[in-house]
Structures are given as structure tokens and as C-alpha cells.
Amino acid sequence: MKRSSGAESLPDCVTTLEQLEALYDAPVPRSLIKEIDSISEHYRAFIEKAPFVVVATVGPEGLDCSPRGDPPGFVRVMDEKTLLLPDRRGNNRLDSLRNLVRDPRISLLFLIPGIGETLRVNGRAEILVDPELCADFALQGKVPKSLLKVAVERIYFQCQKALARSRLWDPAARIPRSELPSTGEILESLSDSPFDGAAYDRGYPDHMKRTIY
């Protein structure tokens, strides 16, 4: 570990695997046996109940982490090694897809409201545009432009500690939306040209209804 001196002093930093492994105890055996290379029936049940997944990708410009959500079961288990995930209408930044075109590595983190455990999947993804297959994922008459086909390489569940510490599902931990800046306020503060943030906020509920799919 390294330590600087003077006004620019910083905490000690871990710079090698040896330092890291010396800092922590050995992995808990249970944390290792839960990691497998295919989708078990237990893990399949978790995926099929999950309405929300975080998608992590990497590309030449860096990393991306993006939320995805739909009714439970929107990520389909095709077989013990394959998942299909629709790409719904969004802002067309395409950060995740741009990454996957150039680097197929992908990680998924599944969450289920009220459940403390999360499920992690690591694998490689392809972007599919088969019309019939995409049409099978239509919702409210809207067909996704593409699907992610994920070849599962590793899958395992994460214990409840993080969600318990954060009280993520505890209604008493919720804060009023008014305690944070609104979307319109943020956009107005960042816009180079005139932008009416209040008008944006007033119109957004209707915009959401019209464009969610």
C-alpha cells in the first residue's frame, strides 16, 4: 500500500491482488457453491418473477449501467444457457447497444420488489432483429426494435445484506419526490437554450402514457 505526505495526502490504496487478499478473509464457502454455469430451476424461478434488471456493458468509451423493466417474465429463459431480453422504446442514446456491438460482455442484476436476494448473471450478448421473434415480445401493440440474446456463462444469487442495509423495500425509508430536483429542473439547469422545466414536468405524465411502449 502507498501513502502520500503533505497537503495531498491520501488514504492507503490497495494496488495488488496480494494486498487485497491479505485485507479480507477467505470467501465464505456458500458464496462459491451458489455460482454455476447454467440456469437452474431455482434461478429460473427468480428470473421469471423479476420485473426489473440492471444491464451492465463495456465498450471503447467506457462502462454503462442501464435499468430495464417490464411485467414479470419479460426476460425469457429460452433454455438453461440462454436468455432473451426486449429493448423497449427509450431515448435512443443506445449506450448499452453501442457497447455490445463492439464488446459482447454483459452482466445482469435482477431485482424483485420485496425480495432481499438479487440474482447476478454474467455472459455474452448478441443483438437480434428477427421480425417474428421481436413481434413475440410486443406489448400494447408496440414491437421492440431488437432483442438481446444472452449466453449465460456464470449465474448466482446475492444475499440480502445490501438491500437490508439500504432498506430498499421498506416503505418507512421512502422520501417525498419533492426532496429531490425534478427532471424538468435538471434539464433546465443543463440546457444551453431556453427550456421551460416546469412545463416539462407538467406534461411528463401524459408523455409517459403515450410513449412508455
- Cell numbers at 210, concatenated: 403515450
Residues carrying CATH 2.30.110.10, the chain: 26-166
Q: What is the pLDDT of residue 1?
A: 53
**Residues 5-18 pLDDT 10s:** 554 665 789 999 99
> For 167, left (φ over 0), alpha (ψ -120 to 50), or beta?
left
- Which CATH number fits the domain 26-166, given the four candidates 3.40.50.2000, 3.40.720.10, 2.30.110.10, 3.40.640.10? 2.30.110.10
Q: What is the pLDDT of residue 152?
A: 98
Q: Is the pLDDT of residue 178 over 90?
A: yes
Query: Which neighbouring-strand residues pair with 84?
Result: 76, 149
**Residues 60-90 pLDDT 10s:** 999 999 999 999 999 999 999 999 999 999 9
Q: What is the pLDDT of residue 155?
A: 98
**Residues 126-172 pLDDT 10s:** 999 999 999 999 999 999 999 999 999 999 999 999 999 999 999 99
pLDDT band at 114 (very low <50, low <70, confident <90, very high): very high
- Give phi and psi for 171, each to the nearest 5: -55, -30
Q: What is the mean pLDDT of residues 25-40?
A: 94
d(CA 73, CA 137): 11
Q: What is the mean pLDDT of residues 116-123?
A: 98
Handedness of CA 97, 142, 67, 77 (dihedral sign): negative
Q: What is the pLDDT of residue 10?
A: 58
Give the predicted TM-score (pTM) of the model: 0.91
**Ordered DSSP codes for 53-68:** EEEEEEETTEEEEEEE
Q: What is the pLDDT of residue 9?
A: 60
